[in-house]
Protein backbone atom coordinates (compact mmCIF):
# COMPACT_ATOMS: atom_id res chain seq x y z
CA UNK A 1 0.00 0.00 0.00
CA UNK A 2 1.46 3.42 -0.89
CA UNK A 3 2.16 5.53 2.15
CA UNK A 4 3.18 9.16 2.55
CA UNK A 5 5.12 8.81 5.78
CA UNK A 6 8.65 7.46 5.91
CA UNK A 7 8.84 4.52 8.34
CA UNK A 8 11.98 2.47 8.92
CA UNK A 9 12.71 -0.33 6.48
CA UNK A 10 11.07 -3.02 8.62
CA UNK A 11 7.78 -1.16 8.98
CA UNK A 12 7.78 -0.23 5.31
CA UNK A 13 8.40 -3.84 4.29
CA UNK A 14 5.51 -4.99 6.46
CA UNK A 15 3.14 -2.53 4.76
CA UNK A 16 4.41 -3.41 1.30
CA UNK A 17 3.96 -7.10 2.05
CA UNK A 18 0.36 -6.58 3.13
CA UNK A 19 -0.43 -4.66 -0.04
CA UNK A 20 1.49 -7.01 -2.33
CA UNK A 21 -0.54 -9.99 -1.15
CA UNK A 22 -3.94 -8.43 -1.82
CA UNK A 23 -5.81 -9.93 -4.80
CA UNK A 24 -5.70 -6.57 -6.58
CA UNK A 25 -1.91 -6.27 -6.33
CA UNK A 26 -1.38 -9.91 -7.30
CA UNK A 27 -3.56 -9.36 -10.36
CA UNK A 28 -1.71 -6.19 -11.40
CA UNK A 29 1.65 -7.92 -11.24
CA UNK A 30 0.32 -10.86 -13.24
CA UNK A 31 -1.02 -8.53 -15.92
CA UNK A 32 2.30 -6.70 -16.06
CA UNK A 33 4.06 -10.02 -16.72
CA UNK A 34 1.62 -10.71 -19.54
CA UNK A 35 2.37 -7.33 -21.10
CA UNK A 36 6.13 -7.89 -20.81
CA UNK A 37 5.79 -11.14 -22.79
CA UNK A 38 9.23 -12.26 -21.59
CA UNK A 39 10.47 -15.67 -22.65
CA UNK A 40 12.88 -18.00 -20.84
CA UNK A 41 15.84 -16.71 -22.86
CA UNK A 42 15.09 -13.05 -22.16
CA UNK A 43 16.55 -10.60 -19.67
CA UNK A 44 14.21 -8.28 -17.77
CA UNK A 45 15.15 -5.28 -15.63
CA UNK A 46 12.85 -4.32 -12.75
CA UNK A 47 13.55 -0.67 -11.95
CA UNK A 48 12.79 0.33 -8.36
CA UNK A 49 12.53 -3.34 -7.42
CA UNK A 50 12.19 -2.77 -3.66
CA UNK A 51 12.20 -6.05 -1.75
CA UNK A 52 12.15 -8.04 -4.99
CA UNK A 53 8.76 -9.78 -5.01
CA UNK A 54 7.89 -8.84 -8.60
CA UNK A 55 11.40 -9.62 -9.82
CA UNK A 56 11.22 -13.07 -8.22
CA UNK A 57 7.82 -13.76 -9.78
CA UNK A 58 9.17 -12.94 -13.23
CA UNK A 59 12.29 -15.05 -12.66
CA UNK A 60 10.13 -18.01 -11.61
CA UNK A 61 8.72 -18.06 -15.15
CA UNK A 62 12.18 -18.47 -16.70
CA UNK A 63 13.67 -15.07 -17.68
CA UNK A 64 16.89 -13.72 -16.20
CA UNK A 65 15.87 -10.77 -14.03
CA UNK A 66 17.96 -7.86 -12.80
CA UNK A 67 16.34 -5.88 -9.99
CA UNK A 68 17.63 -2.32 -9.61
CA UNK A 69 17.08 -0.04 -6.63
CA UNK A 70 18.81 2.86 -4.87
CA UNK A 71 17.90 1.71 -1.36
CA UNK A 72 20.61 -0.55 0.06
CA UNK A 73 18.27 -1.73 2.81
CA UNK A 74 15.71 -2.87 0.28
CA UNK A 75 18.38 -4.57 -1.81
CA UNK A 76 19.62 -6.49 1.24
CA UNK A 77 16.08 -7.63 1.96
CA UNK A 78 15.58 -8.60 -1.70
CA UNK A 79 18.74 -10.71 -1.73
CA UNK A 80 17.78 -12.43 1.54
CA UNK A 81 14.24 -13.19 0.39
CA UNK A 82 14.81 -14.08 -3.25
CA UNK A 83 18.08 -15.77 -4.22
CA UNK A 84 17.29 -16.25 -7.89
CA UNK A 85 17.04 -12.73 -9.38
CA UNK A 86 20.17 -10.60 -9.59
CA UNK A 87 19.97 -7.34 -7.62
CA UNK A 88 22.10 -4.27 -8.34
CA UNK A 89 22.24 -0.72 -7.04
CA UNK A 90 21.25 1.94 -9.55
CA UNK A 91 18.54 4.38 -10.54
CA UNK A 92 16.20 5.04 -13.44
CA UNK A 93 18.55 7.60 -14.98
CA UNK A 94 21.67 5.39 -14.94
CA UNK A 95 20.91 1.69 -15.09
CA UNK A 96 23.86 -0.65 -14.46
CA UNK A 97 23.30 -2.44 -17.76
CA UNK A 98 24.90 -2.35 -21.23
CA UNK A 99 23.20 -0.98 -24.32
CA UNK A 100 20.45 -2.99 -26.00
CA UNK A 101 20.77 -6.14 -23.90
CA UNK A 102 17.40 -6.51 -22.16
CA UNK A 103 14.10 -7.61 -23.65
CA UNK A 104 11.87 -6.32 -20.84
CA UNK A 105 11.80 -3.17 -18.71
CA UNK A 106 9.46 -2.87 -15.74
CA UNK A 107 8.98 0.00 -13.27
CA UNK A 108 6.26 0.04 -10.58
CA UNK A 109 5.42 3.10 -8.47
CA UNK A 110 8.63 4.80 -9.63
CA UNK A 111 7.85 7.50 -12.18
CA UNK A 112 5.87 9.75 -9.80
CA UNK A 113 9.18 10.28 -7.96
CA UNK A 114 11.15 11.30 -11.06
CA UNK A 115 11.66 14.93 -11.95
CA UNK A 116 12.71 14.07 -15.51
CA UNK A 117 10.68 11.12 -16.83
CA UNK A 118 11.80 11.76 -20.42
CA UNK A 119 15.40 11.15 -19.32
CA UNK A 120 14.36 7.89 -17.64
CA UNK A 121 12.58 6.74 -20.81
CA UNK A 122 15.70 7.58 -22.82
CA UNK A 123 17.64 5.32 -20.47
CA UNK A 124 14.99 2.63 -20.94
CA UNK A 125 15.47 2.85 -24.72
CA UNK A 126 19.22 2.56 -24.26
CA UNK A 127 19.09 -0.74 -22.39
CA UNK A 128 16.20 -2.29 -24.35
CA UNK A 129 16.92 -4.40 -27.39
CA UNK A 130 14.97 -3.61 -30.58
CA UNK A 131 11.47 -5.01 -30.09
CA UNK A 132 11.88 -5.08 -26.32
CA UNK A 133 8.86 -4.39 -24.13
CA UNK A 134 8.39 -1.73 -21.45
CA UNK A 135 5.70 -1.75 -18.75
CA UNK A 136 5.09 1.06 -16.26
CA UNK A 137 2.76 0.64 -13.29
CA UNK A 138 1.66 3.42 -11.00
CA UNK A 139 -1.09 5.29 -9.22
CA UNK A 140 -2.31 8.80 -9.92
CA UNK A 141 -1.76 10.54 -6.58
CA UNK A 142 -3.82 13.55 -7.60
CA UNK A 143 -6.91 11.40 -8.15
CA UNK A 144 -7.14 9.62 -4.79
CA UNK A 145 -10.73 9.32 -3.58
CA UNK A 146 -11.47 9.33 0.16
CA UNK A 147 -14.96 9.35 1.63
CA UNK A 148 -15.38 12.12 4.19
CA UNK A 149 -18.00 14.44 5.63
CA UNK A 150 -15.81 17.33 4.42
CA UNK A 151 -14.97 16.76 0.74
CA UNK A 152 -13.40 20.20 0.36
CA UNK A 153 -10.93 19.54 3.15
CA UNK A 154 -10.28 16.08 1.74
CA UNK A 155 -9.41 17.58 -1.65
CA UNK A 156 -7.05 20.03 0.02
CA UNK A 157 -5.28 17.26 1.94
CA UNK A 158 -4.89 14.98 -1.08
CA UNK A 159 -3.82 17.83 -3.37
CA UNK A 160 -1.27 19.08 -0.87
CA UNK A 161 0.54 15.77 -0.79
CA UNK A 162 0.27 15.25 -4.54
CA UNK A 163 1.64 18.72 -5.24
CA UNK A 164 4.72 17.93 -3.15
CA UNK A 165 5.77 15.11 -5.48
CA UNK A 166 7.97 15.54 -8.54
CA UNK A 167 5.25 14.08 -10.80
CA UNK A 168 2.15 12.97 -8.90
CA UNK A 169 0.13 12.73 -12.13
CA UNK A 170 2.72 10.60 -13.93
CA UNK A 171 0.43 7.85 -15.29
CA UNK A 172 -1.83 10.21 -17.21
CA UNK A 173 1.20 11.64 -19.06
CA UNK A 174 3.03 8.45 -19.89
CA UNK A 175 1.29 7.59 -23.13
CA UNK A 176 2.29 10.92 -24.66
CA UNK A 177 5.82 10.71 -23.24
CA UNK A 178 6.34 7.24 -24.67
CA UNK A 179 5.18 8.31 -28.10
CA UNK A 180 7.43 11.36 -27.95
CA UNK A 181 10.35 9.13 -26.94
CA UNK A 182 9.87 6.98 -30.04
CA UNK A 183 8.20 3.95 -28.49
CA UNK A 184 5.51 2.13 -30.43
CA UNK A 185 2.45 -0.04 -29.76
CA UNK A 186 1.61 1.94 -26.64
CA UNK A 187 -1.14 0.29 -24.58
CA UNK A 188 -2.86 1.78 -21.53
CA UNK A 189 -4.97 -0.11 -19.01
CA UNK A 190 -6.57 1.17 -15.85
CA UNK A 191 -8.15 -0.16 -12.69
CA UNK A 192 -9.29 1.15 -9.33
CA UNK A 193 -7.98 -0.32 -6.11
CA UNK A 194 -10.50 -0.17 -3.25
CA UNK A 195 -9.66 -0.16 0.45
CA UNK A 196 -12.32 -0.35 3.13
CA UNK A 197 -10.51 -1.69 6.18
CA UNK A 198 -8.22 -0.22 8.82
CA UNK A 199 -5.06 -1.20 6.92
CA UNK A 200 -5.39 2.02 4.92
CA UNK A 201 -5.71 4.24 8.01
CA UNK A 202 -1.94 4.91 8.47
CA UNK A 203 -1.79 6.26 4.93
CA UNK A 204 -4.72 8.61 5.59
CA UNK A 205 -3.21 9.88 8.82
CA UNK A 206 0.07 10.42 7.00
CA UNK A 207 -1.69 12.48 4.35
CA UNK A 208 -3.20 14.71 7.03
CA UNK A 209 0.13 15.18 8.78
CA UNK A 210 1.86 16.02 5.51
CA UNK A 211 -0.77 18.64 4.67
CA UNK A 212 -0.17 20.34 8.03
CA UNK A 213 3.60 20.24 7.57
CA UNK A 214 3.22 21.81 4.11
CA UNK A 215 1.08 24.62 5.53
CA UNK A 216 -1.85 23.65 3.31
CA UNK A 217 -4.25 22.83 6.14
CA UNK A 218 -4.48 24.11 9.72
CA UNK A 219 -3.56 21.56 12.36
CA UNK A 220 -6.94 21.70 14.08
CA UNK A 221 -8.82 21.03 10.82
CA UNK A 222 -6.49 18.14 9.96
CA UNK A 223 -7.03 16.69 13.44
CA UNK A 224 -10.80 16.72 12.98
CA UNK A 225 -10.41 15.01 9.61
CA UNK A 226 -8.05 12.41 11.05
CA UNK A 227 -10.47 11.71 13.91
CA UNK A 228 -13.27 11.21 11.41
CA UNK A 229 -11.19 8.65 9.50
CA UNK A 230 -10.33 6.86 12.75
CA UNK A 231 -14.03 6.67 13.55
CA UNK A 232 -14.77 5.28 10.11
CA UNK A 233 -12.08 2.66 10.64
CA UNK A 234 -13.62 1.64 13.97
CA UNK A 235 -17.12 1.15 12.59
CA UNK A 236 -16.20 -0.19 9.16
CA UNK A 237 -17.07 2.86 7.04
CA UNK A 238 -13.67 3.61 5.50
CA UNK A 239 -13.58 4.05 1.73
CA UNK A 240 -10.48 4.82 -0.30
CA UNK A 241 -10.21 4.38 -4.07
CA UNK A 242 -6.90 4.66 -5.90
CA UNK A 243 -6.71 4.81 -9.71
CA UNK A 244 -3.90 2.56 -10.93
CA UNK A 245 -2.57 2.34 -14.48
CA UNK A 246 -0.46 -0.04 -16.55
CA UNK A 247 1.22 1.45 -19.60
CA UNK A 248 2.98 -0.85 -22.03
CA UNK A 249 5.05 -0.07 -25.11
CA UNK A 250 7.57 -1.56 -27.52
CA UNK A 251 11.00 -0.28 -28.40
232, part of any domain: yes
Range of the domain at 76: 9-250
CA distances from 226 to 45, 66, 149, 191, 222 (A): 40, 41, 12, 27, 6
Q: Is residue 2 part of a domain?
A: no
Whether 75 is in a domain gets the answer yes
Looking at the domain assignment, is residue 3 inside a domain?
A: no
Sign of CA dihedral 115, 20, 172, 129: positive
Burial class (CB in 10 A: 0-12, 13-18, 19+), 71: middle
Number of domains in the chain: 1
pLDDT tens sequence across 190-229: 999 999 999 899 999 999 999 999 999 999 999 999 999 9
Ranges of the chain with pLDDT below 70: 1-13, 15-16
pLDDT in tens, 168-197: 999 999 999 999 999 999 999 999 999 999
| Any domain includes 167 | yes
Amino acid sequence: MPTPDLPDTGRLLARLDRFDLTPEAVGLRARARELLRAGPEDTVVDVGCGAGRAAAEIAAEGPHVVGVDLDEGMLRSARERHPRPEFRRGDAYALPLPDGRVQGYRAEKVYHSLGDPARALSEARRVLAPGGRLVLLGQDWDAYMVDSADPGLTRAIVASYADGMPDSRAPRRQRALLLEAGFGRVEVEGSVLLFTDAEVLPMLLGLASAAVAAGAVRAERAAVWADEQRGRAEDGRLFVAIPFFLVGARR
